[in-house]
Amino acid sequence: MTDEADIPEDHPRYQSLLTRHRIEEGVEKGITSKQGLIAEGRGESFDYLIGEETIPSADEAERAAAARLLLADHAVLSVNGNVAALVPGEIVSLAEATGADIEVNLFGRTEERMRAIADHLREHGAENVKGLAADARIPGLEHERGKVDADGIFDADVVLVPLEDGDRAEALAEMGKTEIVIDLNPLSRSPRTAAIPIIDNIIRAVPNVTRHARELADSTPEELEVIVAEFDREAALDDAERAIRDI
């Protein structure tokens, strides 16, 4: 398997090759499921259509997401296998910048995979990883993804749910949680359910939210509230769809 350091940064497909490598490595480590390979391929096709760049409306969403995470009483960053493979260190940095908890949550949940992902995140600097207790359940979800920690996602007021499926996004919204979703398909149920949909590649999106959070660290709650209130979720979704259709 190619080492990440062997991918030349000046290659025109560098980011694509990097994500493919990280997902492949995730499967080898038992972090990412084989189904995650399919999900990554689907996402990459949308990234190609959107120009493989962070469009202005996505950056606005990332700034609003940073402001909302900073305003939260209890924010949680939900991590699945693809997220752990693609942006483990970046998730840890975002948690540090916003004071959010990190919780592992999987559709194909096994104790082995849960421990492997938690260990992987700790190797990238995470001090406390939730999700292993699974002592609460999201109402309306009967599969394994409904299992959460009582002092984690179940208790959170704001949840970042990148690369998630629509039914879980809808269930969390029904619990009254403010959802921030990262997804490259503006027509998917997940971003259309979210209070703040970020239509961007997670490799770009998570560092962008972290950068904004650091820039906004000294802002007053009132200033942060203005940023969140001024974000237009429908306009962001429409802009992303337009960017794809106008390629």
Mean of all residue pLDDT scores within the chain: 89
Burial of 142 (0-12, 13-18, 19+ CB in 10 A): exposed
The residue type at 156: A
| pLDDT tens-digit map of 151-187 | 999 999 999 999 777 788 888 989 999 999 999 999 9
Say whether pTM exceeds 0.85: yes
pLDDT at 12 over 90: no
Dihedral, CA atoms, 26, 133, 144, 88, nearest 10 degrees? -20
Q: Measuring CA to CA, which residue among 133, 62, 126, 132 is closest to residue 100?
A: 126
Burial of 246 (0-12, 13-18, 19+ CB in 10 A): exposed
Grade residue 68 by pLDDT with cuts at 50, 70 and 90: very high
Least confident range from 12-16, 145-149, 162-166: namely 12-16
pLDDT at 2 over 60: no
- Positive/negative CA dihedral, 211, 215, 220, 222: negative
Concatenated DSSP letters of 176-214: T-EEEEE-S-TTSHHHHH-SEEE-S-HHHHHHHHHHHHH
Domain 56-245 - what CATH class? alpha beta
Contact 184, 199 (CB under 8 A): yes
**Domain boundary assignment for the chain:** 56-245
Q: pLDDT above 70 covers what percent of the chain? A: 91
CB atoms within 10 A of CB 170: 16
Contact 201, 16 (CB under 8 A): no
Residue 77, classed as helix, strand or coil, is strand
pLDDT at 5 over 60: no
Residue 183 is predicted with a pLDDT of 94
Q: pLDDT above 90 covers what percent of the chain? A: 66
Contact 121, 91 (CB under 8 A): yes
Q: What is the mean pLDDT of residues 22-48?
A: 77
Least confident range from 46-50, 53-57, 143-147: namely 143-147
Least confident range from 106-120, 194-208, 211-225: namely 106-120
CA distance linking residue 140 with residue 111, whole number of Å: 22
Residue 33 is predicted with a pLDDT of 73
